[in-house]
Amino acid sequence: DEVRAILPDVQKRWGGQIALERHSTADAEGLELLLIYEKRFGADVRKPPVMFVGGRCLAGAREILTRLDATIAEELQKRRDAMSPHPATASRPEAEPPPSASSLPPAVRSRFESFTVGAIVLAGLIDGIN
């Protein structure tokens, strides 16, 4: 399906800043995870597939395909703001997708590869609820 097809590109674009996990609700473990995440995020998933990004839930292929990169950028920015010693200002621009690794100077690329922002994308439950 379309969502599954974009995941390798999403992982490539965001690199070590995100972690993708795939789970199927066809088995008990995947269904249990869905119920846990629904409760944690206050979501009522009725439109598979579903992705949990940071503190948000994207449900349905259309929403995932149109909002995934922007949602990842927003959630990463929230984490950076939370970790920053300086308060966020209204004039701060929104996060954009990162540049390709090949366009970064080697020293910058090496530095970015050495740490993880910690955003977790639960790209599970792609198979949806049947």
Residue 123 CA to residue 33 CA, distance in Å, equals: 12
**pTM metric for this prediction:** 0.61
59-79, pLDDT tens digit by residue? 999 999 999 999 999 999 998
Residue 20, strand partner residues: 121
SS3 state of residue 19: coil
* Range with the poorest average pLDDT among 10-14, 16-20, 93-97: 93-97
* Range with the poorest average pLDDT among 70-74, 89-93, 100-104: 89-93
- Mean pLDDT of all residues in 8-15: 92
Q: Quick one: what percent of the chain has pLDDT higher than 90?
A: 28
41-54, pLDDT tens digit by residue? 888 887 789 999 98
